[in-house]
Amino acid sequence: MRTHAQHELTKNQALVFGSLSEAGGPLTAYAILDLLREDGFRAPLQVYRALDKLVEFGIVHRLESLNAFVACSHKDCTGHGSAAFAICEKCGDVREFTPDDAVRLLKDWTESQGFALARTTIELRGTCKDCVASG
């Protein structure tokens, strides 16, 4: 696949990012650790250190309300705005989207308060279309 080549990931970073990409959904750090034991991972720090960098690069997002991590769903992560996530509490599916208008309003509020916004966490919990239909 060779996506995100712009970052020249290290071995551990590539393994962690690969796990998340292949999973296609959120994984906890310890779930990643278990997946990567066959690749020689032994300790949580190996995962957390890689995750820190991947989040810094913007190609992995942390889901605060799940204590989990997910690969960015954009083909090319350079320069997109703040991400938001719709999390289905039935099936665990996570949909990433970029609510620029809503973020603009939030940023307007912070500016009116003199608050220097660094980053946003927007996570929506509920039930996805498929799970609503099936039950």
Partner DNA sequence: GCATCTATGTTATGTTGTAACACACATAGC
Partner DNA sequence: GCTATGTGTGTTACAACATAACATAGATGC
Minimum distance from residue 4 beta carbon to a second copy (Å): 24
> Is 50 within 8 Å of 15 (Cβ atoms)?
yes
With CB under 5 to 8 Å by kind, the binding choice for 43 among a second copy, DNA, none is DNA
49 binds DNA (CB under 7 A): yes
Q: Give the span between the Cα atoms of 126 and 129, in whole angstroms.
A: 10
Q: Give the span between the Cα atoms of 107 and 116, in whole angstroms.
A: 9
* Size, binding site for DNA by CB under 7 A: 21
Instruction: Please list the residues that pair with 96 across neighbouring strands.
Output: 85
Of 18 and 99, the one with the shorter C-beta distance to DNA is 18
Q: Which residues bind a second copy (CB under 8 A)?
A: 64-65, 84, 86, 88-89, 95, 97, 99, 101-103, 105-106, 109-110, 113-129, 132-133
Of 78 and 110, the one with the shorter C-beta distance to a second copy is 110
DSSP per residue over 30-55, as a string?
A: HHHHHHTGGGT--SHHHHHHHHHHHH
> Is 117 within 8 Å of 107 (Cβ atoms)?
yes
Per DSSP, 62 falls in state E
125 binds DNA (CB under 7 A): no
Of 3 and 123, the one with the shorter C-beta distance to a second copy is 123
Q: Which residues bind DNA (CB under 7 A)?
A: 10-13, 28-31, 40-46, 48-50, 53, 67-68
